[in-house]
Structure 1
Amino acid sequence: MTPSARTFDTAVMPHLHAAYNLARWLLRDDRSAEDAVQEAYLRAFRFFKDVRGDDVRPWLLGIVRNACHDWLRQNRHLDDQVEFDEVRDSDMAASAADTAYADPFVLLDHRDLAGRVNEAIAALAPAFREVIVLRELEEMSYDDIARVAGVPVGTVMSRLSRARALLRRSLHDDRPAALRERKA
């Protein structure tokens, strides 16, 4: 089915969550991410007739990426950005904490690990953070990530390998003493 045979809503709107997720990780601010996604969707709507192929997700996320980079270039002077905290801000985490039969130690371990993973991802350089988010959180293929980032597949693989190594090192070095002792 060609892009002209389908509507913008049915082809692009199902990827809104992925677009916001990528923007949130790149910009590290919920409101800025919302603005960037809105701008990206306006651009996507304008150029929707030019889409080639059936899979619009990489095309759309490339536009989101570019909108985020444009936003960062225009707003570098803003130092008051607030980082999104998955554990604190997630409805899922809140509902899990409310579960009466949940083991409090398991919940504590889960919250601690999720928080440390989010901090480790946020500390990555933007190029590494981008490939981790697209591969591990959005489950995109290497080819699609290459299309989104505008780099060769080999570069995606290299960045992903380095990002994973940095995450492993960060999570290992940052593990609280109480967890190291209990796991041993």
Structure 2
Amino acid sequence: MTDPSASTTGPDRARFDAQVLPHLDAAYNLARWLARDPLDAQDVVQEAMLRALRYFGSFHGNDARVWLLAIVRNTYYTVRQRTPPDSLRAEFDDEMHPLVDEGPSPETLALLAVDVGALQSALEHLPPPLREVIVLRELEECSYREIATITEQKIGTVMSRLARARERLRAELTCRPREVRRHDVR
């Protein structure tokens, strides 16, 4: 077995370290939310970084962060495809989740809520396609265009999934029992 780092040496390796390594936290954050398990996320990031290092010579873009996040996402789905958990086998149906945007956004609710655990729990309950767009947009602050590039989707699809993710988060956060909401700022 050949060492993938052997193909990237000298100036390329220094360029890789300078352009890609600063985005390691963002890579882990995305992997963590997709995999929903810290150990699985570490495995995904490790595999993604090996792939990024191996193929860095073909990177000619100006945004290494978007390039790396796309690799992390693709690596996650490749790994998940090998051993899909039972809960993730059902396909996400865009028609079953209508696009509705009424009331305050989940971001507003999240800023007002003291209970961060409720927000994390709500994010955990989102299907992967919705969870990934909300994480990329709200936590990693990617633009719609960057998300479309990372997920290989059209911008319209990104926007509709983001709207559905926000609606699902809003519903999840506002339907909690009254005693759970006692810490919410009104």
Q: Tell me if TM exceeds 0.5.
A: yes
- What is the alpha-carbon distance in structure 1 between the residues aligned to residue 160 and residue 46 of structure 2? 31
> 1:54 corresponds to which letter in structure 2?
N
| Residue identity in the other structure for 2:125 | A
Give ranges in structure 2 of 5+ residues lacking alignment: 1-10, 88-112
Alpha-carbon separation, structure 2, partners of 1:64 and 1:182: 35
1:174, CA displacement in angstroms?
1.2
Mapped partners of 1:127, 1:145: distance in 2: 11
Find the partner of 1:140 among 126, 139, 142.
142
The secondary structure found in structure 2 opposite 1:40 is: helix
Shift in alpha-carbon separation, 1:77–1:115, aligned structure 2, 3 A: closer
The residue aligned with 2:52 is 44
Residue 74 of structure 1 is aligned with which of 79, 82, 87?
A: 82
Aligned 1:3-14 pairs, distance under 5 A: 7-14=15-22
- Structure 1 unaligned segments of length 5 or more: list them: 80-108
Counting only pairs closer than 5 Å after superposition, residues 9-158 of structure 1 correspond to structure 2 as: 9-76=17-84, 110=114, 113-158=115-160
When normalised by structure 1's length, the TM-score is 0.75
The structure-2 alpha-carbon separation of the partners of 1:141 and 1:6, relative to structure 1 and needing over 3 Å to count, comes to farther
Query: 1:81-121 CA distances to partner (integer Å, 9 max, x unpaired)?
Result: xxxxxxxxxxxxxxxxxxxxxxxxxxxx72xx201100101
Task: State the Cα distance separating 1:179 from its structure 2 match.
Answer: 3.3
Q: Residues 132 and 178 of structure 1: is their aligned pair in 2 closer, same or farther, counting only changes over 3 Å?
A: closer
Aligned-residue offset at 1:72: 1.1
Structure 1 CA distance for aligned equivalents of residues 181 and 85 of structure 2: 39
- Equivalent of 2:176 in 174, 177, 182: 174
Partner of 1:7, secondary structure, is helix
CA distance in 2, matches of 1:136, 1:181: 23
Q: How many residues were matched structurally?
A: 151
Matched to 1:72, the amino acid is R
Residue 165 of structure 2 corresponds to which residue in structure 1? 163
Identity %: 48
Q: Closer, same or farther in 2 for the Cα pair 1:118/1:77, shift >3 Å?
A: closer
Deviation of the 1:178 alpha carbon: 6.1
- How big is the shift at 1:33? 0.6
TM-score (structure 2 length as normaliser): 0.74
Per the TM alignment, residue 71 of structure 1 is displaced from its structure 2 partner at its CA by 1.4
Matched residue, 1:100: none
SS state of the match for residue 120, structure 1?
Answer: helix
